[in-house]
Amino acid sequence: MAESTKKSKYEELEKKLSYASKNIWSEADKKTVDAIHAYAELYKAFLDRSKSERLTVQWLVGGAEKRGYRKLSKVTKVKPGDLIYALNRDKNIVLIKVGSKPIQEGINFIVAHADAPRLDLKQIPLVEDTEIALLKTHYYGGVKKYQWLNIPLALTGIVVTKDEKRVEVSIGFEDDDPVFVIPDLLPHLAKKAQGEKKSGEFIQGETLNLIFGTVPVKDEKVKEKVKLAVLQRLNEQYGIVEEDFISAELQAVPAVKPRDAGIDRAVIAGYGHDDRVSTFAAVTALFDVEKIERTAVAFIVDKEEIGSDGPTGAKSLFIFNTIGEIIEKTTGECTDSTLRRAMERSTCISADVNAGINPMYKSVHDEKNAAKMSHGVVITKYTGHGGKYMANDADAELVGKIRNLFNRNGIFWQYGGMGKIDEGGGGTIAKYFAFYNASVIDCGIPVIGMHSPYELISKADLYYSYRGYRVFLEQC
Ligand code: MN
Ligand code: MN
């Protein structure tokens, strides 16, 4: 007798009553799989060019202008359907598609960050030691210092000279460029200097120095011959002198290209997925939205990795002022209460990555409440640490609204929080938008190996973050 394919009564009941997220690759048809891979190619091209917040913003301005977005400062009158962008110190960009409803009735925001952990150069970085010129760094954000040793690093950023000219520096991204390396200690001699120390202590911040040059000038009268030779080269190539480093922002970032990872090419390895992956998904979602009622905004912030302070961080009034300017240019005036009301009637997705389960370190997660790679974009009610300290804690009504929005539109999504209770923790910009009394929820994709120089994400999750953000902008 053939086995019955009919589900038993309790199997059916289980399907009806239980929650389980699904593996996208098991569910998706051929057309969807093709769309996932095609979108991933666009993202890889973006990520390869966007290795700093400045470069990210530059790329986004190019994309926006190509699509007809106009700079807010050059626009005098704003009307429904307009495409506008505003810049802040070349590190923030706000992209706006004006909806048919008045802005005062609220905005759909997606906020992501373009800064990523890295090694900034110190303001007086150049030293010579044992006939080697070194560049001293100060790490930025939550880095595990040992991960940055003996990997190829590129230098990117700007130098402001004594006549306040801005010189752009970019060395290490092209195949024939030199790269910079911080050398680790050989294992043969590391027994005491490293082996007997805790992992957080065996690499000191002050040892994260790049080897910058080794050829001296030929002059016995000069004390630091290699340093001088390097300064001479910099002066010839960039017109800069040592004092100019003081007014520079230069960062060392991994000189690695995003690559497909795994035999099935379903994963992307790359530097800076946190949070350029949400940046890309948010902005491309905005580019692709069609008719909208509520004004849609993608806002890219800086300084998230170090606490969101500073004028380009999420705590700055830049977004508040920009929305005020939009209202003013729409209606002819903008009172304080109109602006406040527009902000508090808004809904915001805090688009940031989540900790995906790493099979080698499962124990740090509560598996049932953790994000799995390839299971879709992650909804997170709260982040924070300890007893939910510092959390935005989205209200149940908002979580319900987003969950149902995604379900109605066939978006693969999953629930995920940040690790086991008391295992550690982390935050996002959600709470800084909640400050305006806006409704804010965290929603981004799982990353494995987060904050490392070569993070991993699933192409399927990436695609469904884009799709999810788009339905949010169109329908929320
Ligand atoms: Mn992040
Ligand atoms: Mn981060």
Residue 243 forms part of a structural domain: yes
Taking the centre of ligand 2 as the mean of its atom positions, its distance from the CA of residue 451, in whole angstroms, is 6
How does pLDDT run across 117-153, given as a tens digit for each residue?
999 999 999 999 999 999 999 999 999 999 999 999 9
Residue 370 forms part of a structural domain: yes
> What pTM was estimated for this model as a whole?
0.96
Q: Give residues with Cβ within 8 angstroms of 232, minimum separation 6.
A: 217
Pick the ligand that lies closest to the CA of residue 428. Answer: 1
Strands 425-426 and 295-301 come out as unpaired
H/E segment holding residue 138: strand 132-140
Identify the domain boundary among 254, 281, 316: 254
Length in residues, the chain: 476
Based on the fold, state whether residues 186 and 332 are members of the same structural domain: no
Based on the fold, state whether residues 143 and 241 are members of the same structural domain: yes
Instruction: Using pLDDT thresholds of 50, 70 and 90, give the confidence band for residue 7.
Output: confident
Based on the fold, state whether residues 107 and 135 are members of the same structural domain: no
Task: Concatenate the DSSP letters of all residues of 326-348 into one string.
Answer: HHHHHHS---HHHHHHHHHT-EE
Taking the centre of ligand 2 as the mean of its atom positions, its distance from the CA of residue 412, in whole angstroms, is 23
User: CB-hemisphere CA count at 13 Å for 417?
Assistant: 23
More confident residue, 392 or 23: 23
Taking the centre of ligand 2 as the mean of its atom positions, its distance from the CA of residue 323, in whole angstroms, is 27
Identify the domain boundary among 254, 287, 320: 254
Distances (CA, A) of 458 to 6, 361, 367, 370, 446: 34, 18, 18, 15, 8
Taking the centre of ligand 2 as the mean of its atom positions, its distance from the CA of residue 110, in whole angstroms, is 17
Q: What is the pLDDT of residue 427?
A: 87
Taking the centre of ligand 2 as the mean of its atom positions, its distance from the CA of residue 196, in whole angstroms, is 29
Domain holding 145, by residue range, is: 118-254
State the chain's mean pLDDT as an integer: 96
Based on the fold, state whether residues 111 and 221 are members of the same structural domain: no
Distances (CA, A) of 113 to 93, 174, 457: 10, 25, 17
Pick the ligand that lies closest to the CA of residue 306. Answer: 2
Q: Give residues with Cβ within 8 angstroms of 174, minimum separation 6.
A: none
Taking the centre of ligand 1 as the mean of its atom positions, its distance from the CA of residue 119, in whole angstroms, is 17
Based on the fold, state whether residues 78 and 186 are members of the same structural domain: no
Taking the centre of ligand 1 as the mean of its atom positions, its distance from the CA of residue 351, in whole angstroms, is 8
Q: Which amino acid is at 412?
A: F
Cβ contact 127:134 at 8 Å: yes
- The percent of residues in the chain predicted with pLDDT above 90, rounded, is 92
Pick the ligand that lies closest to the CA of residue 276. Answer: 1
Instruction: Using pLDDT thresholds of 50, 70 and 90, give the confidence band for residue 245.
Output: very high
H/E segment holding residue 282: helix 273-288
How does pLDDT run across 213-227, given as a tens digit for each residue?
999 999 999 999 999
Residue 1 forms part of a structural domain: no
Pick the ligand that lies closest to the CA of residue 353. Answer: 1
Q: Is a pLDDT exceeding 60 seen at residue 2?
A: no
Q: What is the pLDDT of residue 36?
A: 98
Rounded average pLDDT over 283-305: 97
Based on the fold, state whether residues 110 and 122 are members of the same structural domain: no
Based on the fold, state whether residues 231 and 279 are members of the same structural domain: no
Taking the centre of ligand 1 as the mean of its atom positions, its distance from the CA of residue 468, in whole angstroms, is 18
Instruction: Using pLDDT thresholds of 50, 70 and 90, give the confidence band for residue 92.
Output: very high
- Mapped onto helix, strand or coil, the DSSP state of residue 297 is strand
Based on the fold, state whether residues 275 and 225 are members of the same structural domain: no
Identify the domain boundary among 254, 288, 318: 254
**In angstroms, how far is the first alpha carbon of the chain from the final one?**
52
Based on the fold, state whether residues 308 and 457 are members of the same structural domain: yes
How does pLDDT run across 436-473, given as a tens digit for each residue?
999 999 999 999 999 999 999 999 999 999 999 999 99
Q: What is the CATH number of the domain that holds 236?
A: 2.30.250.10
Phi, psi of 2 (to 5 degrees): -70, 145
Number of domains in the chain: 2
Cβ contact 377:445 at 8 Å: yes
How does pLDDT run across 373-400, given as a tens digit for each residue?
999 999 999 988 888 888 999 999 999 9
Based on the fold, state whether residues 50 and 69 are members of the same structural domain: yes
Q: What is the pLDDT of residue 1?
A: 53
Pick the ligand that lies closest to the CA of residue 451. Answer: 2
Token pair of 253 as six digits: 């970032």
Residue 260 forms part of a structural domain: no
Q: Is a pLDDT exceeding 60 seen at residue 313?
A: yes
Taking the centre of ligand 2 as the mean of its atom positions, its distance from the CA of residue 2, in whole angstroms, is 54
Phi, psi of 48 (to 5 degrees): -65, -30
Token pair of 396 as six digits: 């149940």
Taking the centre of ligand 2 as the mean of its atom positions, its distance from the CA of residue 67, in whole angstroms, is 30
Residue 222 forms part of a structural domain: yes
Based on the fold, state whether residues 103 and 128 are members of the same structural domain: no
Residue 367 forms part of a structural domain: yes
Residue 153 forms part of a structural domain: yes
Pick the ligand that lies closest to the CA of residue 314. Answer: 1
Taking the centre of ligand 1 as the mean of its atom positions, its distance from the CA of residue 446, in whole angstroms, is 11
Q: What is the CATH number of the domain that holds 353?
A: 3.40.630.10
Taking the centre of ligand 1 as the mean of its atom positions, its distance from the CA of residue 94, in whole angstroms, is 18
Distances (CA, A) of 338 to 243, 324, 325: 47, 9, 12
**Rounded distance, CA 174 to CA 335, Å?**
50
Taking the centre of ligand 1 as the mean of its atom positions, its distance from the CA of residue 67, in whole angstroms, is 27
**Rounded distance, CA 72 to CA 86, Å?**
5
Pick the ligand that lies closest to the CA of residue 430. Answer: 1
User: CB-hemisphere CA count at 13 Å for 30?
Assistant: 0
Taking the centre of ligand 2 as the mean of its atom positions, its distance from the CA of residue 37, in whole angstroms, is 25
Q: What is the pLDDT of residue 91?
A: 97
Rounded average pLDDT over 53-80: 98
Residue 261 forms part of a structural domain: no
Task: Concatenate the DSSP letters of all residues of 59-89 into one string.
Answer: HHHHHHHHTT-EEGGG-S---TT-EEEEEET
Based on the fold, state whether residues 104 and 125 are members of the same structural domain: no
